[in-house]
Chains A and B, each alone.
Chain A
Amino acid sequence: MLVPLWMYLAVAGALFSIGVFGVLARRNAVAILMSVELMLNAVNINLVAFWRYSETSTDLLLNGYAFTAFVLIVAAAEAAVGLAIIITVYRNRRSVIPEEAVALKG
């Protein structure tokens, strides 16, 4: 293990910022969902890096490892439901722009 911890955190921070930019700036809802996946992956890098470099990882404490697995599960569920919603909105409104889905606007 010869790469310092802060370099992993820097890469994860950069990936998270790229995802934030995509979520804020892209117009297509599918592109926004892809950017959310990037942010989740940045968080996963952070979790695994902290788990690897923590002193307790030899004591069979698997918090970071197991939590990353659960983040993966929740990301899969989020992608399935999110894409189903996008396809339904597209079928009803012929649009994948989130700003145009205003049926529930008060």
Chain B
Amino acid sequence: MALNAVTIGFVVFSILTLGGGIGVVTTRNLFQGTIWLMVSLFGVAGFFILLSAPFLAAVQILVYIGAIAILITFAVMLTRSVTRIKTRYIRVVPSFVGSLLLFLVLLFGITVPIFGGHLPESAPEYVASTRDLGIALVDENGYVVPFLLASVLLTAAMIGAIFIARDEKA
């Protein structure tokens, strides 16, 4: 594996993604946890750039870092005033062992035996662009039905979130 821009980017984004993820699950202060979550999501957006999906990277930054992380920040600030949580973790040792076993099975049971011999040169030279995605999303042979269902789902989620979080005494 030659040392070039893609490789350096991959290493940097791996560090951002995994370091941010470890920060999310280990930090004591949940407000810092949301910052770590933003770092991790930014790393994932970098992976999308490396995988030649720039539209998904832009959506990742807009939706995840711009909306979901801010939403989580608000939830942290709304719920932390009287938290009686003394400990961060419950059943930490079996959880750690279980997730470590899951990772080892994923890596040495599935990824390396099946895809270890997959050469990077076998990736196609040209891939579909954002323009092709936009056409496919409104094409009747493409994804127009899921696209419309997604708008219904978002509307339902928005109404449901307002209805659930509404303060009935106010």
Contacts and interface: CB of A to CB of B under 8 A. Distances in A.
B137 to A, nearest CB: 7
B99 A17 contact: yes
Interface string A10-50: 11011111111110111110110111011001001100110
Given A25-B92, A61-B128, 18 more contacts: A4-B1, A8-B47, A15-B21, A16-B106, A30-B30, A41-B17, A44-B48, A44-B56, A44-B60, A57-B124, A73-B154, A75-B64, A76-B157, A80-B71, A84-B162, A84-B164, A86-B79, A96-B79
A80 B37 contact: no
Contact of B37 (A34, A69, A76): A34
B contact face: mostly helix, strand, loop, or mixed: helix
Contacts of B111: 6, 9-10, 13
Interface of A: 1-11, 13-22, 24-28, 30-31, 33-35, 37-38, 41, 44-45, 48-49, 51-55, 57-58, 60-62, 65-66, 68-70, 72-81, 83-88, 90-91, 94-97, 99
A33 B21 contact: no
A25 B132 contact: no
Interface in B95-134: 95-96, 98-100, 102-103, 106-107, 110-112, 115-116, 118-128, 132-133
A32 to B, nearest CB: 10
Given A45-B47, A57-B124, A31 B150 contact: no
Interface string B78-96: 1100111101111110111
Contacts of A83: 71-72, 74-75, 161, 165
7 nearest CB pairs, A to B: A77-B157, A22-B25, A17-B103, A24-B95, A13-B106, A21-B99, A25-B95
A57 B18 CA distance: 28
27 contacts: A1-B6, A3-B1, A3-B120, A4-B120, A6-B118, A13-B103, A14-B21, A14-B103, A15-B44, A18-B25, A19-B21, A24-B95, A35-B25, A44-B48, A48-B53, A52-B52, A55-B124, A57-B127, A58-B125, A65-B133, A80-B71, A81-B160, A81-B161, A81-B164, A96-B79, A97-B85, A99-B90
A79 B72 contact: yes
Q: Which interface residue of A37, A75, A78, A94 has the most chain B CB atoms within 10 A?
A: A37
A93 to B, nearest CB: 11
A8 to B, nearest CB: 7
A38 B76 contact: no
Interface of B: 1-2, 4, 6-7, 10, 14, 17-18, 21-22, 24-25, 30, 33-34, 37, 40-41, 44, 47-48, 50-53, 56, 59-60, 63-64, 67-68, 71-72, 74-76, 78-79, 82-85, 87-92, 94-96, 98-100, 102-103, 106-107, 110-112, 115-116, 118-128, 132-133, 136-137, 142-143, 146, 150, 153-154, 156-158, 160-162, 164-165, 167
